[in-house]
Amino acid sequence: MAKNSPSFTFNSFKPAHTLSIGVKIGKAARPGDVILLIGNLGAGKTCLTQGIARGLEIAEPVQSPTFVLVREMSGRIPLYHIDLYRLSHISEIETLGIEEYLYGEGITVIEWADKGLDLMPVSNLTIHFKTTADTGRQLDFYPYGARYIDMLGEIK
C-alpha cells in the first residue's frame, strides 16, 4: 500500500470528537469492511473503536484487546476488534488466523495494523493517528479501494 496524501484529515481536540467520527464510521460500515488503525500509544485508536461500536449499536463496553488479541462483539454488524501491539513478528500474526475475521461477515478493526500490513487486504480504510502540539489528535484517512472512497463520502 503506497502512502499518498490522506483523502481526509480529521482533527480531534477531545475524546468526544474521536468518538463522534467513530460513530459515523460505524453507521457507514458494511459486512466485510476492514479498518486499519496506526498510531502511537494513547493516540486514540481504542477511543475511535468505541465510537465505531456505538455506530454499530453494540451495547457492551469496548476495551483494548491487547491481552486477548481479538474481541468479538455483536451489534447491527459483528465487530472484530484486533490488537497487534504485543506481537513482534509477522509469523506470530500469521498464526492468529485473522483471515477468518478479515474475510468474515463483520467489520474488522485492527489496532497496531502496521505490524502486519503485508497480511492485510489491499482494499481497506487505513487511519493514521498523530498527536499534535496542542494536545489534540490528527486522524489521516487513506481509503484503498472504491468501497472505502464511498465510505469516506458518507463520513464527511
- CATH code of residue 39: 3.40.50.300
- 28: number of Cβ within 10 Å: 19
pLDDT reported for residue 102: 85
Sheet of strand 8-12: strand arrangement: 8-12, 137-144, 124-131, 34-38, 107-111, 79-83, 70-73
**Structural domain includes residue 16:** no
The per-residue pLDDT for 66 is 59
What stretches in the chain show pLDDT beneath 50?
A: 1-2
Output DSSP code: residue 121: -
- Residue 58: name the closest of 38, 37, 80, 43 by CA: 80
The answer to the question of residue 84 being in a domain is yes
80 within some domain = yes
Query: Model confidence over 39-80: pLDDT tens digits?
Result: 988 889 999 999 999 999 998 888 775 566 788 899 999 999
According to the model, what pLDDT value does residue 95 have?
66
* Residue 143 belongs to domain spanning: 31-155
The pLDDT assigned to 97 comes to 72
